[in-house]
Structure 1
Amino acid sequence: MADPAPATENNEARRTQMLRAAAELICERGFSETRISDVAKRAGVSSAVVICYFGARDRLLVDALRYAEDSFYEAAERMLSEVPSVRDRLSLLIRWTCVAEAEDEIPGYWGLWFDLWAQAFRHDDVKVGRAQLDARWRRMIVEAVQSDELGADDAKMFALEFSALLDGLSIQVALEDPEVDSEVAYEIAMRFAERNLNLSDGLTAEVTVPR
């Protein structure tokens, strides 16, 4: 990949504009049908400007997903810090991942991840970006469950298992599997967490998905 232009205070607004356009288009059309010229047109810039900022189309995919994730993590970290119960924090994580508030919410968001996984399978640079994004998600799970009773190593292993389970469930929900809708996915993930962390039954918080 060509080296992109470094991010600075002077170019951040324009960079964000292009990332928003790329995220919208990839969700709408898929990565294979999204061209640099399409992103440029929606962002109101030239194709040369998009290439200057991102270097290549594959990098634009990774950065568009990272841009979409940033807004999620900003809201999620704030909300989790206000929830004292491990069980309720995990309930939030499951709902954010597997339960859509609107009909098209999960398919649109997960479309970015589907395309990223497909490109990461064949392109090393995209693979690195994928690993970084997944590591950030696992760190959030670790922070949600780590306590005096659950040490760092156990929390890390739980995060690996739990994130893999949520990925699989979310794919089924996004693809509208007739046997795995949002509520079934939530119940499966919650039971896994309860068994592995010995969580007691109790009311879980009604939440708003911050995506």
Structure 2
Amino acid sequence: MPRVKKESADRREDILGATLEAIEDKGIDQVRGADIAKRVGVSAGLVFYHFDNLDNLIISALRSAAAHDMAHLQAVLDGTAGDVTTRLRAVLREYGPTGTAFGWRMWVESWSASLRNPELRGVIRTLDAGWRDVLIRLIDEGTAAGEFHCPDPAGAAWRLTAMLDGLAVQQVVFDEAVTREQVADWVTLTVRRELGI
């Protein structure tokens, strides 16, 4: 690959990263091309050369974050040895507000903005479905292996992710109205009830 193309790809990634930081720091409605350019140390013209307009920049940044989250999820699955219960707990730990997936502040901000932006809503929906599909597969696998007793894996996955989403809001938006320890305890209790373990 010629050096210019590599530098261009690197610069694009730098801009995406700076945009994600800005979204988490200030919120989507406060993101400005000039601010992103300043964070990266380039001109605003270069930012828009890569992304055409601010909406495209924000959508591209959030798509990048979603892809990163899904790649991280796969790495967690690939790197977690043990039975299905162990792998499921590793995935739930990453999904919840105690995990290392991209910042919950950014995703909560994105949920809100997606109410007014159908393209952003699609990004969020795809990410949400990706996590849930992994949970459904793990619950199916655990049920088939006799580790779990769950007549409705899809329903259980929906309830688990909905609970974690709600707890994330309580922890992130409301200045830790619930503690990490409470989140961990409630997730453990819910998993036991949902999966009959």
Task: With the length of structure 1 as denominator, give the TM-score of the two structures.
Answer: 0.74
What is the alpha-carbon distance in structure 1 between the residues aligned to residue 131 and residue 24 of structure 2? 20
Q: For CA contacts below 8 A with separation 6 or more, give which structure has more relative contact order.
A: 1
Residue 167 of structure 2 corresponds to residue 169 of structure 1: yes
* Residues 137 and 56 (structure 1), Cα distance of their counterparts in 2 relative to 1, 3 Å cut: farther
Q: 1:39 aligns with which of 36, 40, 45?
A: 36
Give 1 or 2: higher helix fraction.
2
Bigger shift: residues 117-126 or 10-19: 10-19
* Residues 54 and 150 (structure 1), Cα distance of their counterparts in 2 relative to 1, 3 Å cut: farther
Residue 135 of structure 2 corresponds to residue 136 of structure 1: no
Question: Shift of the alpha carbon at 1:29?
Answer: 1.9
Are the aligned partners of 2:27 and 2:109 in contact in 1 as well (CA < 8 Å)?
A: yes
What corresponds to 1:209 in structure 2? Answer: none
Consecutive unaligned residues of structure 2, counting only runs of 5 or more, are: 146-150
Question: Shift of the alpha carbon at 1:11?
Answer: 4.2
What is the alpha-carbon distance in structure 1 between the residues aligned to residue 65 and residue 87 of structure 2? 21
Question: What is the aligned length?
Answer: 186
Residue 104 of structure 2 corresponds to residue 110 of structure 1: yes
What corresponds to 1:160 in structure 2? Answer: 158
Deviations 1:70-127 (A, max 9, x none): 33433332232333323222322332233548xxx89x81221122111111122211
What corresponds to 2:9 in structure 1? Answer: 12
1:132 aligned partner, one-letter code? T
Indicate the SS of the match to 2:143.
coil
What is the alpha-carbon distance in structure 1 between the residues aligned to residue 103 and residue 46 of structure 2? 26
* Residues 12 and 87 (structure 1), Cα distance of their counterparts in 2 relative to 1, 3 Å cut: same
Deviations 1:180-204 (A, max 9, x none): 21111121122111111112xxxxx
Q: CA RMSD in A?
A: 2.8
Consecutive unaligned residues of structure 1, counting only runs of 5 or more, are: 1-7, 200-211
What is the alpha-carbon distance in structure 2 between the residues aligned to residue 30 and residue 163 of structure 1? 24
Task: With the length of structure 2 as denominator, give the TM-score of the two structures.
Answer: 0.79
Question: Shift of the alpha carbon at 1:68?
Answer: 2.9
